[in-house]
């Protein structure tokens, strides 16, 4: 599955103005709901926050990938929020997060879920790419950057 199949321009938010991890997750969940991509924002937020209690999805280098699996989904969905100020996400490296990829997949698609997490992680762990995304200023430019970084490959 290609990441561009699930991360649409309308779900890329280049100016996320929130202060906490909880606010960021709620904002992105609500945005996916407003885009009619998830039916129950309360369930979605609960699933993500339960995952965060197990361990932070702040993977370091200014990136977080909060995620969950939802019974109500038929297809994976994703949102990306960019915070210029940075958000304390309890990241593994203790640094603020600037890129937040919120990912939901159907409950039955474990392989798809893990594959998408891996693809996102592999692309944004490159600090040059992350910096370009953070500084881009528009959803269209962000998607262009991601596509240049093998965003649209089936296997990578």
Q: Which of 28, 110, 17 is nearest to 69 (CA)?
A: 110
Q: Token digits for 147?
A: 């596509």
Please give the C-alpha separations between residue 37 and each of 27, 41, 90, 126, 153, in angstroms, as whole numbers: 14, 10, 27, 29, 23
Please give the C-alpha separations between residue 57 and each of 75, 103, 140, 154, in angstroms, as whole numbers: 21, 11, 25, 24
Catalytic residue set: 67
Tell me, what DSSP letter sits at residue 4?
Answer: G
- How many other C-beta atoms are found inside a 10 Å radius of the C-beta of residue 122? 12
Angle between helices 41-54 and 21-34 (to 10 degrees): 150
């Amino acid at each position: 599955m290609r990441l561009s199949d699930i991360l649409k321009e309308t779900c890329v938010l280049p100016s996320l103005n929130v202060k906490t991890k909880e606010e960021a997750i709620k904002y992105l969940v609500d945005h996916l709901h407003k885009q009619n991509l998830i039916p129950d924002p309360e369930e979605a937020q609960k699933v993500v926050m339960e995952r965060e209690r197990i361990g932070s999805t702040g993977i370091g280098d200014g990136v977080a990938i909060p995620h969950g699996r939802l019974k109500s989904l038929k297809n994976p969905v994703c949102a990306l929020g960019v915070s210029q100020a940075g958000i304390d996400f309890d990241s593994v490296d203790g640094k603020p997060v600037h890129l937040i990829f919120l990912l939901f997949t159907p409950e039955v698609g474990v392989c798809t879920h893990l594959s998408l997490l891996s693809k996102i992680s592999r692309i944004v762990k490159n600090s040059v790419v992350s910096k370009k995304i953070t500084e881009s200023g528009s959803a269209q430019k962000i998607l262009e950057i991601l596509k240049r970084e093998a965003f649209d490959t089936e296997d990578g």
